[in-house]
Structure 1
């Protein structure tokens, strides 16, 4: 039985708020990307996404290996991926492919590299904008490059890679579904200090990160992905082994209407609490229909941030009270209380504030994981 051990939610190619190559794509290059798996095993499978491609994505070859420092991999650990018995594969436009199982023993918490040789022009690349870890690229076929010396350029996005599964035989994976807070903005890059990482370490359970920076519950965005109500099936429900969903989403729906100079999301409709409640109910229905236990999280305090304003304050308070008191969730984690400044509950505790009064730091993400772990 294969269990999802790592995920990144696919996004439409966009400049976004992180320098990336999604619009340019790749040609005659190799791309090496590192991920941390939350479930071990002796075999693994890799899912490649062309969800936003207009033509087939041609992969000339792909390998996996245990990660070493930088772009290097552990000698002797390189395994060639096959797709229905072939080394090359064409990922259909608006689709994805899952590799055949490859024999490579990994422990939970270990880092894996996935290297793709892209010999044909890819066109704009389906990607995940904010990886908070380094992805490497270099010219030619570098599938078997152990030293990493051939990889001359880097950035901090994941391209085409959307999931890794292992034969852990686990059916107790937890999916965290949200925006930049779930994605890990404010955590230390390269250190795996997102709250998904912390939760996996605390519980020993596989944890999927289905966050997208800037994501909204109700509306699609060119930079910030499809809305939560539209993407849940793809980014959580299709992945094997998940039995619990944790939802932390809606703050951008509220806050973007307050950020008057925000260039990336226009128009920014002014939403009311009942609209967000309906959106959360849609997520609950979808997840329950798939047999998942659904945990609702209150929105984090964001007073003093660029998302804060009179209307935002009113709506966030109303939504949080509904999450706490409605009885519509299987359980509720009150992260608004857990991360609040005792002197001003509308603000993040200074010890947990990344600095923008909106995102937690490493310590804040650890507190979030501890609060959810108590419910699992």
Structure 2
């Protein structure tokens, strides 16, 4: 009987079903033979604004919203754009009860090569040990990180559209109570990924590569109403076991790096898309900021060549790529007639080139029927560039879920 019990436990562990996950949980070294899939990601950017101030002797409690179930997890932390080494003395992950308050006994220590602390050099990214911790798609989690020393400017994701927290001075990472977390912040510091060992029927992950429209600008803060969130919800409702990872950066461009709006889509493609654990598909929606930001790029062929390079590199990596047409933007702060002509040429290529495995015609879906160069007022957040919650939901509903069903040939 004892032998049978040991065999049963071995089978459970093999399939990532760790007994007793409800209790506080444990961490151990990552087993490289198991297939990890990204359940959540945030693309890193150079520090700007408040990130230039850094952190010292404080605890961050960052709220994230994973899109895939798993009974084991691991975190990825990055100092990619930092200016000096940074030490994380304590790292925990727990289930959110409300605000900065956590579900009792859910807060679980995260380790790195068996140690509770880790130091990252400039440009370095680290993956934690495996954690026996149950991740539920659609349930918010809190990652708490205590930083003992002055970090200098922080590698971050600027526009999180999610309320997170910074504590009073001291180490509060292990605490479930919210009282010490007195400062609100709407960015993610250093945290770049949560991966899980998913259900055996999981078929991989979709990375949404884009700009502020993918990042969720204009949506309700802390509501998880970005279009990738709505897409993930649709997949779950249809029983399609596939993750959605949001690699949007507000202000991002196809070609140009920017100290505020991040490295170009071309320059971050490998890190933010191709290297995501378990990625199988890409939704590409980029180009409107190349047209609109100063100095504007009205050379449609130049933008098309950049998009084509992204598609070709993704295809070479064995990924399927779905192209989204650029949304109408008449009435926005950077609208011009020259820019509109460029957008229309780029969209014609996306629709008709055959470069993509499928096309999502966001432009037609989101257009005002009486003036197709404008966003439909029903979907407009108010700035005539970014959709509202209803607009993001409409974008997600326009995506063909049959592309992601497991029976589809690859």
Partner of 1:22: 51
- Residue in structure 1 matching 2:328, options 301, 304, 320: 301
Say if 2:141 is the partner of 1:104.
Answer: no
Partner of 1:182: 214
Aligned length: 361
- Residue in structure 1 matching 2:257, options 199, 220, 231: 220
- For structure 1, list consecutive stretches of 5 or more residues without a partner in the other structure: 16-20, 258-267
Compute the displacement of 1:256 (Å). 1.4
Q: Aligned runs of 1:283-302 on 2, under 5 Å?
A: 283-302=310-329
What TM-score comes out, normalization by structure 1 length? 0.94
Say if 2:202 is the partner of 1:202.
Answer: no
Q: Aligned runs of 1:22-101 on 2, under 5 Å?
A: 22-101=51-130
Compute the displacement of 1:269 (Å). 4.3
Structure 1 residue matching 2:318: 3-state secondary structure? coil
| Separation of aligned partners in 1, 2:400 and 2:175 | 40
| Separation of aligned partners in 1, 2:328 and 2:174 | 47
Partner of 2:176: 146
What TM-score comes out, normalization by structure 2 length? 0.86
Conserved 8 A contact 2:298-2:338: no
Compute the displacement of 1:57 (Å). 1.4
- Residue in structure 2 matching 1:353, options 364, 380, 390: 380
| Separation of aligned partners in 2, 1:162 and 1:292 | 21
Structure 2 residue matching 1:48: 3-state secondary structure? strand
Cα displacement string for residues 69-99 of structure 1 (whole angstroms, at most 9, x for unaligned residues)? 1111110001100001100101121111000
- Residue in structure 2 matching 1:280, options 298, 307, 311: 307
Compute the displacement of 1:44 (Å). 0.7
Structure 2 residue matching 1:218: 3-state secondary structure? coil
| Separation of aligned partners in 1, 2:321 and 2:245 | 14
Conserved 8 A contact 1:72-1:148: yes
| Separation of aligned partners in 2, 1:212 and 1:309 | 23
| Separation of aligned partners in 2, 1:208 and 1:127 | 17
Partner of 2:194: 164
Conserved 8 A contact 2:47-2:82: no
Conserved 8 A contact 1:6-1:208: yes
Q: Cα 1:163–1:251, aligned 2, differ >3 Å: closer, same or farther?
A: same
* Structure label with greater radius of gyration: 2
Conserved 8 A contact 1:252-1:307: no
| Separation of aligned partners in 1, 2:179 and 2:98 | 11
| Separation of aligned partners in 2, 1:10 and 1:242 | 18
Structure 1 residue matching 2:76: 3-state secondary structure? strand
- For structure 2, list consecutive stretches of 5 or more residues without a partner in the other structure: 1-34, 237-241, 405-410
Q: Aligned runs of 1:309-320 on 2, under 5 Å?
A: 309-320=336-347
Compute the displacement of 1:285 (Å). 1.4
Structure 2 residue matching 1:23: 3-state secondary structure? helix
Any runs of at least 4 consecutive aligned residues in structure 1 with deviations exceeding 2 A, and if so which? 169-172, 373-376
Partner of 2:275: 238
| Separation of aligned partners in 2, 1:109 and 1:39 | 8
| Separation of aligned partners in 2, 1:271 and 1:47 | 38
